Amino acid sequence: MTGGIHWFWLGMTIAVLVWYSTITFYVAWRGAVDIKQMLGRLDQLAEEEKRL
C-alpha cells in the first residue's frame, strides 16, 4: 500500500516536471502571438472609433 502511494507521488512529480516544461515553451510561443493580436485589435478598434 505504502509502496503504491510512493509510486503515485513519483508519477505526479514526473508529470509536473514534464507538463510544466512543455507548457512553458508552448505558452511562450502562443502567448506572444496572443499579445500581438490583442494589441492589434485594440489599435484597430481605436481607429474605427476615431473614424466614427
Partner 1 sequence: MTNFTLVDGGIVGVYILMTMIAGFAVRKYVGKVEHFLLAGREMNIYLGVASLAATEFGIVTCMYTAQNGYEFGFGGATPGILNAVMMLLVGLTGFCVSRLRNANVTTIPELFDRQFGSRIRWLSGVVIVLGGLLNMGVFLRVGGEFLVTVCGFNEKYLEITMTVLLVAVASYTILGGMLSVLVTDYLQFIVMSGGLLAVTILILYKVGWTNITDAVAAQHGAGGFNPFVHEKLGYSFVVYYALHQLAVVLTWQTTIQRLLAAKNTRTGLKIYTRTSFFFVCRFMIPGLWGMAALAVLGPQFLGTPDSLQAMPKLLSTILPMGLMGVLIAAMLAADMSTDSAYMLTWGSVIYNDILAPFRKKNFSEKRGILWNRMIVGCIGLFLLVYGLWYPLQGNLWNYLAITGTIYLASMSVLLISCCYWKRANSWGAAGAIIAGATIPIAYLVMEQVPATKDLAATIGPYRSGIATYIFAWSAMIVGSLLKPQPKMAIEEVTAV
- What is the binding site for partner 1 (CB under 8 A)? 2, 5-6, 8-10, 12-13, 15-17, 19-21, 23-24, 26-28, 30-35, 37-39, 41-43, 45-46, 49
- Residue 52, classified by CB atoms within 10 Å of its CB into exposed (0-12), middle (13-18) or buried (19+), is exposed
Look-up of cell digits 505558452: 27
Helix (H) or strand (E) holding 37: helix 2-51
